[in-house]
Chain A
Amino acid sequence: MKIMTCPLNGPRPVSEFFYWGELRPMPNPATASDDAWADYVFNRNGAPGLKKEWWCHTPSNTWFIAERDTEKDVVLKTYFYEGDQ
């Protein structure tokens, strides 16, 4: 059983969680080039490696960030989103 640690509820089986995609900073739509905006809207990075991703603990609806190594399938750490940094 894979275990993920919710920053609020603690370690739980991954079946209690929902994946919502990679954390991707949005370019400013007013100033971004068409290519940069199209890249943001349409393209996703599927290459394995270190990723920051949105996850949700569904029984409590707790949203947080998980840093995962998708090549080794390892969760490195989880924490609450604190805005763009």
Chain B
Amino acid sequence: MSTNLAVSPVADIATLPDPAAQKAAVANLGIADQSLTPRHGCKGPGAAAWLESFGLPIPPQPNSWLPVDGGGLIARLGFTEFLVEGPATLIARLASTPRSAGVYPVLRQDVALLLGGARLDELLRQTCNVNFRPLDLAARPVVLTSMVGVGVTVIPELRNGQPAVRIWGDGSYGHYLWETLLDIAVELGGGAVAPHSFN
């Protein structure tokens, strides 16, 4: 089953300003669209063993994640659901390999965003009910919560010493989520940036 998006859910509105403006924005609060990153979702009682057969590491705790060789990650959402992002070859192999018993596909046509910068916490406090500051990033937590009313999966991390979050949400809420978060980011002195701006 092909789950890759041909076009980002926010492709028509996620326009980027010039590089100088992006550089200024990312210091405060940058917001980038990563929806076209290849990803695969599956769940079920056999999902962990099936993914392990591809050589993927399995996060032992619910709501945690691990890095994947070659770039990317595998996130355990609850007990038996997984989200894998990684090299296109890996994702293609997952999508084309027959699933074992007890493994069910999860359509992942998310709007995927990356937000980061010194004023990220101010945005999170306006949009979300979870206090991210006390989370131990070394434990690689995954937070499933509601952001401006949209159910989202969030991974907090540090990028270049600045707080950042990766966010996945239902693609049909992409416009609303992007416009709302971008409005707040602009108020905080940030704006839209390219994903590589965080590197």
Interfacial chain A residues near B146, Cβ < 8 Å: 15-16, 58-59
Kindly state whether residue A13 has any CB partner on chain B within 8 Å. yes
User: Is B144 a contact of A59 with CB atoms below 8 Å?
Assistant: yes
Interfacial chain A residues near B151, Cβ < 8 Å: 58-60
Interface size on A, residues (CB 8 A): 12
Which of A16, A58, A60 makes the CB contact (< 8 A) with B129? A16
User: Is A13 a contact of B63 with CB atoms below 8 Å?
Assistant: no
Chain B's interface: helix, strand, loop or mixed, by majority?
A: strand
Kindly state whether residue A9 has any CB partner on chain B within 8 Å. yes
Interfacial chain B residues near A57, Cβ < 8 Å: 144
Q: Could you tell me the distance between the alpha carbons of A9 and B64 in the complex, rounded to whole angstroms?
A: 11
Q: Could you tell me the distance between the alpha carbons of A74 and B77 in the complex, rounded to whole angstroms?
A: 29
* CB contact under 8 A between A9 and B63, given known A59-B145, A60-B78, A62-B78: yes
**Interface residues, chain A, CB within 8 Å of chain B?**
8-9, 12-13, 15-16, 57-62
**Interface residues, chain B, CB within 8 Å of chain A?**
62-63, 77-79, 129-130, 143-146, 151-153
